[in-house]
Copies of this chain bind each other. A is one copy, B any other.
Amino acid sequence: MSGDYAALDFDVSVEREEFRLDVCDQARPGEVLGVLGPNGAGKTTLLRALAGLQPLRRGRIELDGMVLTDVAAGIQIPPERRELGVVFQNYRLFPHLSLLDNVGFGLRSRGISRSESRLEAANWLRRLDLAEYSERRPGRLSGGQAQRVALARALACRPRALLLDEPLAALDARTRLSVRAELVRQLRAFPAPALLITHDPLEAMVLTDRLLVLESGRVVQTGTPAEIARRPATNYIARLVGLNLYRGRLERGAVRLAGGGALVAAAGHELASGANCLVAVRPSAITLHTERPAASSARNLWSGTVRGLEPLLDRIRVEVAGEPGALVDITAAAAAELQLSDGTPVWLSAKATDIDAYPEP
């Protein structure tokens, strides 16, 4: 295939006791396909299936014109001959080998001489800023360093696709920021398809080109991270990206919500009257009032009761019960001024232009 890379196509079905996974998608060369989902959704199972570590019930995996798995045809290339780079969730560095030998492991396994492997491994360690630790064992590394070593180890073999399982999950909040930036650079430079598992929407936003949202083993939404953050298809995603999400039906210009109440959205062109739809509202797009506002340009106005206050870093998130209920973000100053507390009756208003109604996917 002379240096250029091809897509990773997969159509995978796994059955494990009470759990069943069904995913079919494609990661194109240079693309980072994100897999987002809650604990137990099957993210790791998908990665293991692609890596050849998990037998399939049914399905087919193809990379670069080469069939890796084809259950129907009885093909199952073993992991060691798939030429994939895998970064595991807890890195799985070899505790008994120096960093140099960890990174050189794949090259040695492919029959490259010891000296050449070490040279190449040293190059990768230098590239990832780890040269000074070459002779150290992984046991004494910080999380961020371990993550970089795992990445170097996977990349050193020049894999035909990269699979990463929550590469930042083991890091603390601050290290995560800098390692994320590093990972962005490495992934941009990586020419082959990559698959990145995460359960952090921000991480998905920054690191991936396209997202596949998995819940209980099924794909519930795909799209670019921005699309998904703007128009989530499920409550799980909506909570994750911090939006209020309602399910409803378009009736005479307004969306009648399944949970009670109605909202008017400006952008509803794609929707036919009577269609089922979803409505997303940013918590900061809702304004709170302690008295009914007399005249307001806001097309949506309804009442509710404060149920809880939660301080965030630079604002306060207010939980309001009503029709519909909503999370509302206000500044600390506004909260103090309004003297909100549990049980305070309030009015909520939102501009139609800040409300997005879209078809259920």
**Complex interface: stretch among A23-31, A110-118, A155-163, A237-245:** A237-245
Which single residue of chain B is at the shortest CB-CB distance from A310? B206
By secondary structure, the A interface counts as helix
The smallest C-beta distance from A345 to any residue of chain B, in angstroms, reads 22
1/0 contact string of A253-274 vs chain B (CB within 8 Å): 0000000000000000000000
Per the 8 Å Cβ criterion, residues 155-185 of A in contact with B are 171-175, 177, 181, 184
How many angstroms from the CA of A175 to the CA of B38 in the assembled complex? 8
| CB pair B313 A174 closer than 8 Å | no
Q: Does A19 reach chain B (CB closer than 8 Å)? A: no
How many angstroms from the CA of A38 to the CA of B174 in the assembled complex? 7
The smallest C-beta distance from A200 to any residue of chain B, in angstroms, reads 5
| CB pair B38 A225 closer than 8 Å | no
How many angstroms from the CA of A177 to the CA of B199 in the assembled complex? 13
- List chain B residues, Cβ under 8 A from A39: 142-143, 171-172, 175
Partner of A314, one of B175, B229, B313: B229
Q: Does A78 reach chain B (CB closer than 8 Å)? A: no
Which of A143, A175, A241, A313 has the most chain B CB within a 10 Å cutoff? A313
Give 7 new A-B contacts, CB below 8 A, not counting A38-B174, A205-B312, A282-B314: A38-B175, A39-B143, A177-B239, A181-B310, A206-B310, A206-B312, A226-B332
Query: What is A's interface to B at a CB cutoff of 8 Å?
Result: 38-40, 142-143, 171-175, 177, 181, 184, 199-202, 205-206, 225-226, 229, 236, 239-242, 282, 284, 308, 310-314, 332
